[in-house]
Amino acid sequence: MIAPSLAASAASTTSTGEAVQFWILAVVAVLGALGAVFMKKAVHSALSLAGTMIVLAVFYLANGAYFLGVVQIVVYTGAIMMLFLFVVMLVGVTAADSLKETIRGQRWLAGLCVLGFGILLMAGIANASLKEWNGVGRANAGGNVEGLASLIFTKYVFAFEITGALLITAAVGAMVLTHRERTERAATQRERAEQRVREGKQVTPLPAPGVYARHNAVDIPGLLPDGTASELTVSPTLRARGQVRDVSGEALQDLKALEQRSSDWLERGRSEDADANAKGASK
Amino acid sequence: MNPVNYLYLAALLFTIGAAGVLIRRNAIVIFMCVELMLNACNLAFVTFARLHGNLDGQIIAFFTMVVAAAEVVVGLAIIVTIFRSRHSASVDDAGLLKL
């Protein structure tokens, strides 16, 4: 990590090492951000975003924000992104994002707006044309954490207190939103069995996967007598994810190969017999 | 290199995040793009703190992180609740606030 220059006076350029670090990691950050936006599956988006956040943590450290760099890794990549992954696990399994546009021309308009917005932001920054800057070295002289603490507990103490109230409200809100009150009694096993018989759809337990094929993995459907895969034998979750492996063709091919081999063998035996017979006849 | 480059990067990341919010329709991905925008703002704040030579920018970034954490908790709880009642996390399906 490149420490910021401790010079109190204004500087005009960073070290070469920081420049190299910036240009390499900035590319990684932008690629991660693009991945988060354009990846089809939510899990891939979350992982790309986690990469971008780790790169941002490195940038915080390079900018002299040592405390924030560590907090970025612990809170953002450690807690928030993992929370996202948990919710993707709960929700995203069947929630395939359809890429069909519902509003015509929405993507082009969005791209245009974003392009204009980006140009506006960048032009604003370029217009400021900063040539010199102070560097955070003097502010960090007594230690970054100590400097932050002395500001939080003096100048920003009121905001800090409000933050506590906000966190408690958020925790209570999350609990209230996700808690489900059971309004009716849960059905007993006997009632569920009676209901199954009444509906008459699937009275017996569901058939196990792969038993009638030559595999017993959970993602391989069992085969019906005519060799087609049975939908009932694999879990609906695997079906929704598209992770069902169909090996019925493989089994049929194996059978065909076996038949071919045996017929070859029989053919050879028969021809040998014929040869022997022919020899016997000639004698 | 001038640290202003960090500001350009922050602007670029913010723009990409905004594009994601406008284009995507899966509520979770939209939420992740909002997080990306918040992170871009944090990078800008930290860079401003360096340019100014004081720690106020870092304090603001710290508060942004706290607010983002609270926002994520409540937002994801809302998404889970909507998914439970509608079996979909697409923002197109949730046209009404009532169930």
**What is the DSSP annotation of A235-270?**
-HHHHHHT-----HHHHHHHHHHHHHHHHHHHHHHH
**In B, which residues are within 8 Å of A34 by CB distance?**
16
Across the interface, whether the CB atoms of B79 and A87 are under 8 A apart is answered: yes
Q: Of the candidates A19, A29, A156, which has its C-beta nearest B9's C-beta? A: A29
The gap between the terminal CA atoms of chain B, to the nearest Å, is 54
Q: Which pLDDT score, from 0 to 100, does residue A1 have?
A: 45
A5 interface with B at CB cutoff 8 Å: no
Reported as a single tens digit per residue, the pLDDT across B22-38 is: 988 888 899 999 999 99
Instruction: Take residue B84 and report the two structure tokens written for it.
Output: 């439970």
- CATH number, domain B4-86, options 1.20.1050.10, 1.10.10.10, 1.10.287.3510, 3.30.720.200: 1.10.287.3510
Which residue of A lies nearest to B31 if distances are taken between CA atoms?
Answer: A84
Considering only alpha carbons, which residue of chain B is nearest residue A164?
Answer: B66
Exposure class string for A210-242: b at 16+ Cβ within 10 A, else e: bebbebeebbbbbbeeeeebbeebbeeebeeee
Residues in chain B within 8 Å Cβ distance of A90: 80, 83
Contact A133 B24 (CB under 8 A): no
CA distance A183 to chain B (A): 15
Q: How many CA atoms lie within 13 A of A54 on its CB side?
A: 12
Tell me what pLDDT residue A4 has: 47
Token pair belonging to B91: 């923002």
Nearest CA in chain A to B22: A110
Q: Do B81 and A178 touch (CB under 8 A)?
A: yes
Q: Which of B28, B69, B89 sits opposite A84 (nearest CB)?
A: B28
pLDDT tens for B36-84 read 999 999 999 999 999 988 899 999 999 999 999 999 999 999 888 888 8
Question: Which A residues in the span 134-153 are in contact with B, Cβ-Cβ below 8 Å?
Answer: 134-140, 144, 147-148, 151-152
Cβ–Cβ contact A19 with B under 8 A: yes
> How many of the other CB atoms lie within 10 Å of CB of A263?
10
CA angle, residues A14, A16, A22, in degrees to nearest 5: 80
Helix axes A42-62 and A16-38, enclosed angle (nearest 10): 160
10 Å CB burial of residue B40 (0-12, 13-18, 19+) is buried
* Domain definitions of chain A by residue range: 15-92, 189-241
What is the model's pTM?
Answer: 0.77
Q: Given an 8 Å threshold on Cβ–Cβ distance, is A84 in contact with B90?
A: no
pLDDT at B88: 75
A175: nearest Cα among B86, B82, B85, B73: B73
Helix (H, G, I), strand (E, B) or coil at A214: coil
Amino acid at B40: A
User: Would the CB atoms of B22 and A90 count as touching at under 8 Å?
Assistant: no
Please check whether residue A168 touches B, CB under 8 A.
Answer: no
CA B16 – CA B18 distance, rounded (Å): 5
Q: How many CB atoms lie within 10 A of CB B77?
A: 19
Q: Which of B3, B8, B67 sits opposite A122 (nearest CB)?
A: B8
Supply the pLDDT for residue A162.
Answer: 95
Q: Could A29 and B13 be called an inter-chain contact, meaning their C-beta atoms sit closer than 8 Å?
A: yes
List the single residue in A63, A117, A167 with the smallest CB-CB distance to B50. A63
Instruction: List chain A pLDDT tens, one digit each, 283 residues.
Output: 444 444 445 677 788 889 999 999 999 999 999 999 998 888 899 999 999 999 999 999 999 999 999 999 999 898 899 999 998 888 865 555 666 667 778 889 999 999 999 999 999 998 887 778 888 888 888 888 999 999 999 999 999 999 999 999 999 999 998 888 777 888 888 998 888 889 888 888 887 777 555 666 778 887 777 777 777 888 877 777 777 777 667 767 888 888 899 888 888 777 767 677 766 666 5
DSSP-H helix ranges across chain A: 16-38, 42-62, 66-71, 81-91, 106-128, 144-152, 157-178, 189-199, 236-241, 248-282
Query: Cβ-count burial of A190 within 10 angstroms (0-12 exposed, 13-18 middle, 19+ buried)?
Result: exposed
Q: How far apart are CA A257 and CA A148, in angstroms?
A: 74
What CA–CA distance (Å, rounded) separates A244 from A235? 9
ipTM metric: 0.92
- According to CATH, the topology of domain A15-92 is Four Helix Bundle (Hemerythrin (Met), subunit A) (1.20.120)
Cβ atoms A149, A157 nearer than 8 A: no
Kindly tell me if the per-residue pLDDT of B89 is higher than 80.
no
- Contacts by A114-122, CB closer than 8 A, 24 or more apart: A114/B15, A114/B18, A114/B19, A114/B22, A117/B15, A117/B18, A118/B11, A118/B12, A118/B15, A121/B11, A121/B14, A121/B15, A122/B8, A122/B11, A122/B12
pLDDT on residue A93: 59
- Angstrom CA distances, A115 to A108, A112, B19, stand at 10, 5, 9
CB < 8 Å from B in window 241-280 of A:
none
CB A29 within 8 A of CB B9: yes
Give the separation between CA B42 and CA B60, rounded to whole angstroms: 8
Residues in B touching A137 (Cβ below 8 Å): 53
Closest-CA distance, A205 to chain B, in angstroms, reads 25
